[in-house]
Structure 1
């Protein structure tokens, strides 16, 4: 049996979460210390204040349909990210336990073939992570730069419409407010990316474990240990996969529900916004980039969720007979009251 450090794949993801104040180092949870103070500043002062001033702005622009739509389609996403961060930090201990559980022997690849299979899937997740991070980072950069180009005409604009208890068009308040909005936008975007991609990684781990389990089941007669011993190991592995999937689902189910609701609202509002501006204008480019980022986020989740369905269907097809080569295994599993298709609930 080989030993694979599953957490190593997530090292960049976890490092970013640590920089954002969302992942206490090592196996610790939030306590009254310097890191918790840093987390409070980033989440409450930077992100919370950034959201609050935009929400207050709705009270002043509700009569202007264009300004209202602009504020809502941005603020709704930012409020969702705030909710994501709340649920994420509340379940940080569970997430760390999930990652530690991957180190148990049953989750480890048993041979070079399985290791190669695992690495190919995990490498794909790395590509998706980098691609998604690039799209969001590019959107943030464009959003932060374009208002500066408009300032060359003498009109001082901020990246976001917001209400402040001072005149934000006067120096140095304008420069400080501009910096505050850019930092807030960067924090919210990076938090959203890294929380989302961590969940995609958990989906990927379920896919990988299904592949390992299927390969083990197909090779029950190969090896030095007895058939019953290997079959028992497969049953235990199956139960552990279900437990891992269920715990992951419990952590992120409300977040994903909110993501779909908010994304639907944002996409609809974005399309409406594009009818009010020239698609090739500065505003049009910003809105289009934002829409691409939102659609990409939903697409990635659906894609990884679909991969779980595909891998599970390899083991048993819902409402149909199991695959012929696994008839005996599935019958044995069912005789022990272990439902092979229960894992479908993870993405159902």
Structure 2
């Protein structure tokens, strides 16, 4: 199975019950935990927005609340989407682990393992950035805020949580639990999407290998070789179809993330310049900003990798087209020849991973988003002055 690390994290976060858990003794408690975790995250999101509506009094307080409330909101959206799109995600996994996508020889297994290592490495890097922010935020809260009965996040509660330690402890545990679980959900979800993008790149590498092997075995004019060519044409068509399926499943949530990120980036930078740069609060904000940059960057980086996998810049498209050109077309039937012509033409068109059919996930989009956030940050500073 592909993307094992991502699904293990989702399982630990009670969002992905393994399919082999057939017994009710496992299913019922796990489903109850799933419901409780979802409720905890949704309640925290609601309480934070109620705080903004009911208790915020000035622009400084507003910017201090917005970036955290939007982050929690985006995690809640991802949680609900994982539960809602479980069957679609399982279908994508099945496609990538079935014929013709499944590796068939040692060289193809090596190609697949190489891409699996890349996504695992990216998951660890991104996870380290996120969890360092989580650890710093919780440590700052525990050392400097608990003694004054201050919660990690500003939120509205129906009664005064400062009145008793019991109510404060309940609210504190709820926020910390939601924050920690939400961070792991965020890590798993973001790298799951990027992992599917990398699987597209892996399939182009495997297809290129199969086409080159076909050219090297040109002397064989058997029906078996014709079937291999037909399978390659089908494989190529399915790669493009699978990339469309990935966009259909995840584009809406990616669009929400980009919108949230553009707002959170500028408000976080605004908060940093308001703090003492040597304080614990500034350190936690800097780490948060760093993890946010990494989050947006990995989307755009892996989307750019998919774009390059079928562009002349990486020469995969050229190599596939060149391998097709070198095949002895005289041994092929007319329908097979038409399939190869379609394959060559399609190789010249890059795959664009988009969100909301507007934003393409590539490095240019990352640069544009950072520039927009910096412009909004300057506007906030001027209004403050």
Q: Same fold (TM over 0.5)?
A: yes
CA distance in 1, matches of 2:62, 2:274: 12
- The offset of 1:108, in angstroms, is 2.3
- The offset of 1:323, in angstroms, is 5.3
Residue 41 (str. 1) matches residue 31 (str. 2) = no
- The offset of 1:331, in angstroms, is 7.5
What is the match of residue 182 of structure 1? 176
User: Where does 1:145-224 land on structure 2 (aligned, <5 Å)?
Assistant: 145-151=139-145, 154-169=147-162, 170-223=164-217
> Deviation string for 1:45-64 (max 9, x for gaps)?
x1011111111111244322
User: Where does 1:67-216 land on structure 2 (aligned, <5 Å)?
Assistant: 67-151=61-145, 154-169=147-162, 170-216=164-210
Secondary structure of 2:214 counterpart = coil
CA distance in 1, matches of 2:142, 2:215: 68
What is the match of residue 4 of structure 1? none
Gaps of at least 5 residues in structure 1 are 1-6
> Deviation string for 1:268-327 (max 9, x for gaps)?
11111112112221221111111111110111111111111111113437xxx9854444
CA distance in 1, matches of 2:174, 2:342: 61
- What is the aligned length? 335
User: Where does 1:221-260 land on structure 2 (aligned, <5 Å)?
Assistant: 221-223=215-217, 226-260=224-258
Seen in structure 2, the aligned counterparts of structure 1 residues 122 and 337 have a Cα distance that, compared at 3 Å, is closer
Secondary structure of 1:106 counterpart = coil
What is the match of residue 333 of structure 1? 340
RMSD: 2.7
- The offset of 1:250, in angstroms, is 0.7
TM-score, reference length from structure 1: 0.87
Secondary structure of 1:132 counterpart = helix
- The offset of 1:24, in angstroms, is 2.7
Secondary structure of 1:25 counterpart = coil
TM-score, reference length from structure 2: 0.79
Bigger mean CA offset, 279-288 vs 326-335: 326-335
For the 8 Å contact 2:211–2:323, the answer to whether it is kept is: no
Seen in structure 2, the aligned counterparts of structure 1 residues 341 and 191 have a Cα distance that, compared at 3 Å, is farther
What is the match of residue 351 of structure 2? 344
What is the match of residue 22 of structure 1? 15
